[in-house]
Structure formats: C-alpha cells, structure tokens
Amino acid sequence: MQELHSSVESIALERLARRKFLTQAGLLGLGAAASLTLGGTRIARADESESPQEAAQEAAQGKDTVKEIFTAALIAEDLASTFYYNGLIGTVIQDPNLAGPGGSANNVSSGGNAGNVNYLQAALTQELHHAALFRSLLGMTEGRQDPVQTFHFPAGTFDTLSAFTGTLNALENAFIGAYLNAIQEFAAKSANMKAGDGAWREPADSAYTAEQFDYFAKVSATIMGVESEHRVLGRVISNSNPASNINYEGTDGLNAVYNGPKSAVAALTPFLTSSTGPGYSFETVLINQASVSLPLVGGPPSF
C-alpha cells in the first residue's frame, strides 16, 4: 500500500503540482470510418483499425490489475467519505440551501432545507458502504488499514456553498469516470479470459474467473449509478438547473483506473498532497460518522 502512496505522490510532483484538480478532456475519438449509427452517433466497427486514442486507452487499462482497481476505488471512496463528513460539520452546513443560519446537520433551522441536508447525509452513508465493500475485497477488516488516512482540500472548501458544491461536482465526475473505466476493464478481462487471450491478463489476476470479472463489472456499475445521483443532487443543492443536464455520463477525460497519466489515481492525487491545502483525518470520519450519517437500505448485487 505504501508503494501506491509513493507512486501517486510522484505523479503529483511531476505532472499536477500547479494544475487544476480535474481536467476536462472530452470524448475519445471513435475512428474516422464507421458503418453503424445509433441515434445519429457514428459507431466504429469492431474490425476497423484502432485510433491512437483507443490504443493508448487499451494500453493503460491493460496494466490495471484487479487489486489495483480495488485499491484505487477504496481510496476514492475514503476521500468521498471525508469530503461529505466535513461538509456536514463545516461552516457550509449553515447555508440557507442546507441547514440554514444557526442550523446543523441534525437540527435544520426554519431557514434551511432539510431535504438537501439529507442528500449529503445519504451520500456519506453510501460512500462508507462502498469503501467497506472494497476493503473486504482486499482482505482488510478496518478503515485504519486503508492506504491513505489523510486527505487534503483547498482552504475554504467547507466554508461556502459555491466552494463545496464546486468540489463535489469535480469529485463526482472523476468517480463516475473511474467506475466507467472499471466496468470496461473488468468486461475486457472477462472477454479475454473466455477467449483464452492472455494479452490483457496480468499474472496477478490469474486467480480470478471470468464470472468474477463479470460480477466486478456489475458492482462497479451499481456504484457508478449512485455516484451519478450524487453529481445531480449536488447540482440541486447549488440550484444549477437543469440538475440532470447531460444525456450520458462521461469519463471526465480518464482512460484507466490506476495506471497512466489519465488514470483516476492521477486525477485524484492532489487530494492526497499536502500542498493542496488543510488535511482532514479519515479516522475522525470513521469515529464520528454515525452522528451525522443517514441509515439506508440495500447492498451490493448478488453474484
């Protein structure tokens, strides 16, 4: 786990020191020639030669092992948990769009919005549940074992609504992109295993079956759906209309989960870097989250 922390710190120093946290890179090219259409969108045929973007994406994704994907997801979920917890206890909670002047997460004032506060409380619960799932898949039993215990946010993130919801939107877009890539990676691992093609198979993944890869893709999709809800509800809180403003969720410019300069790990590295701003303890979240979280129902899909 220390190896992961060292690698992402290195990426931060080399590539992201003074850049904005999450870049918008647009959609990858689908290739110049295509014979199929779907709703007016041109779709490349499977037998066409790959574009340079597609080749780069496959090369990056092919390096990601199951353990690396789970580890990156665990760090992301811990980051999200830390973000939502501190939003619920920070000065921002007294914004009229949240608990209102003089209010708190558990005592919404008459000038606040209880429903919006509930959105954040539910998000905290959901991120903690997602983290617990990845922790168990990695054979870990408690949050104190997680590879990153302190997360850094720009000064003022939890002071004003604009700063908080701006960060929320950036984080959730990155999470959505990460899980979309994870779905594709697990699907490719399954397909290649079924076809007996070892080109995409890292030795570290040899213990898994195609059916397990299929299941991991399904789990990633169920989490991605919830992260998409968070993105939209964050826009509700900030009165950004329409809140559901896109036809399709995107990858946020990411082309892999763990490896490469456009991976989710690289995108989220600033939040692991002390130069970004004040540090917030994940252990504090684990100890105190029950005081502000909201009980929810449901678990991961069946195998």
DSSP annotation of 158 reads T
**pLDDT value at 30 more than 50:** no
Which residue bears the tokens 């429903």?
Answer: 115
Locate 20 and state its tokens: 């904005």
d(C-alpha 167, C-alpha 234), whole Å = 10
Q: What is the pTM of this model?
A: 0.83
**pLDDT value at 289 more than 80:** yes
- The mean pLDDT value for 17-33 works out to 32
- The mean pLDDT value for 130-140 works out to 97
Instruction: Please name which of 156, 185, 235, 215 lies closest in space to residue 60, comparing C-alpha atoms.
Output: 185
- The mean pLDDT value for 53-75 works out to 88
Quick one: CA torsion of 47, 218, 265, 144, rounded to 10 degrees?
-160
Which residue bears the tokens 């898994």?
Answer: 208
Quick one: CA torsion of 92, 93, 99, 104, rounded to 10 degrees?
-140
252 contact partners, CB below 8 Å, separation of at least 6: 22, 24, 25, 173, 174, 176, 177, 267
pLDDT at 34: 31
In which element (H, E) is residue 116 found? helix 114-137
Looking at 34-43, 115-124, 193-202, which range is the least confident one?
Answer: 34-43
In which element (H, E) is residue 164 found? helix 161-194
Q: DSSP of 7-53, one letter per residue?
A: HHHHHHHHH-TTS-SS----PPP--S---EEETTEEE--TTSPPPHH
Which residue bears the tokens 């509800």?
Answer: 233
**pLDDT value at 9 more than 50:** no
- The mean pLDDT value for 221-227 works out to 98
**pLDDT value at 269 more than 90:** yes
d(C-alpha 221, C-alpha 117), whole Å = 26
d(C-alpha 125, C-alpha 159), whole Å = 22
**pLDDT value at 281 more than 80:** yes
Q: What is the pLDDT of residues 71-128, one digit of tens each?
A: 999 999 999 999 999 999 999 999 999 999 999 999 999 999 999 999 999 999 999 9
